[in-house]
Chains A and B, each alone.
Chain A
Amino acid sequence: MTVDATSQPRGAGDSILRDPKVRAVFFQILVIVLFLAFVFYVGNNAAVNLEKRGIASGFGFLSQPAGFGIGIVLLVDYNAQVSTHSDVLLIGVINTMAVATSGIVLATILGFVFGVLRLSNNWIVNKIAMVYIEIVRNIPLLVQLLFWYFAVLSVLPRVKQSINFGDTLFINNRGVSFPSIVPESGFMFVVLAFFAGILGCIFLAKWAHKRQDRTGEQFPVFLTSLGIIVGLPIVASFVLGNPMHLEYSALKGFNFQGGWILEPEFLALLIGLSIYTGAFIAEIVRAGINAVSHGQTEAAGSLGLPSGITMRLVILPQALRVIIPPLTSQYLNLLKNSSLATAIGYADITAIFAGTTLNQTGQAIEVIAITMAFYLSLSLSISMFMNWYNKRIALVER
């Protein structure tokens, strides 16, 4: 196939059929024809079957009222009678994003902590991390999710016998309730102060970096940033006279009212996903740190850097280059695995849109296509972001 035979004059015995280029063109045309024939055949069958079963096609169903209740609704108003299937889609998307984002954050923390513990010189700490990784990685995620949901969270005490932490935090089989912050007028400024603090810290870090390049003096960027990000909103809040109050959850009737409640479905999915993905990330982190040659540690040591700084400034930046690509695929796995929500009744896009909406409308092709398009585009955006980050930290070679 890589042989370029066309440059030579064709011998008397060689027919045009033996020319690799001709054969390639012929073969490709054949593939296209077969592919189109397959698509046409399948499409034709689908059209006939749909007509026979009396299933409408097109995306008209999105504006029809959904007519079913949804367990967990965030950010949007949902009313089973009025809201349409497109609202269902939106809620599914929001719920998936909510659990995937928090899962990614938690799994990354867990993974890095256990990955470093797995490399610890301390024998027992090392072995505990190993046991966690080896147990969790070898058990299907679905089993773990069902375990957390049915064997842990469902057998918590009933609402009346909630585990009570100082009347602020309640744990029962309907979830975890804790006080919420209720904004009053002027709360906007506190939020603004928070974002201003973050912006200020970015500039501060840049300035400190420049100053260190110029004079060699270091500036305690981390502590100052922490002070600014936490301090600024507090100061703003005091100046404006605390434009918010806490709303405590309280037992009213059969359930807790007020405050924030984390439902057991969400908790089970979040715990399961983060523990499962965390184990994989731990192995990735371990492999990444191991990939940095031992000479780097020794060189840092001979320069007199303490072990913490060696880790932060010498080992981790090099390890990250190895860690980032597999880490990206773990993030993508976590996103895709969040679709297992459907097994424990968390209202993500697969459960309510590819599940309930599909069953109600019967429009399998459209519903599955939308669901797949959602996951595909989210996967692509995560990998684009991680590729950008990877390029930023990649080794710059001449």
Chain B
Amino acid sequence: MEKIIAGKTIHVNEEGYLTALSEWDKSIASEIAKEEGVGELGDRHWQVIEYLQGQFKQEIPLSIRKIGKSGVVGIEEFYALFPQGPLKKASKIAGIPKPASCI
């Protein structure tokens, strides 16, 4: 379905995840971050977002374990940056699909 975020019409699924990463930009990410209660995005957030998008483009499935080994962010910081379900929230903000992993 269509949704207007940051003044742009983009396509999202019923849970609000972008269906095409090509429609993503930083203003959209900032808007979703506010909606999700993550607040203002800082440098660390952007570095994590960039990493997640990179993994998605390489078709590597995401998990908390991989995040911890990424060298980009530790698990503790990841939870602090994106509280209340970090992998889901960060993926939504990064414009990539909801991760299907249980770990």
Chains A and B come from one and the same complex: no
Residues of B within 8 A of A (CB): none
Residues of A within 8 A of B (CB): none
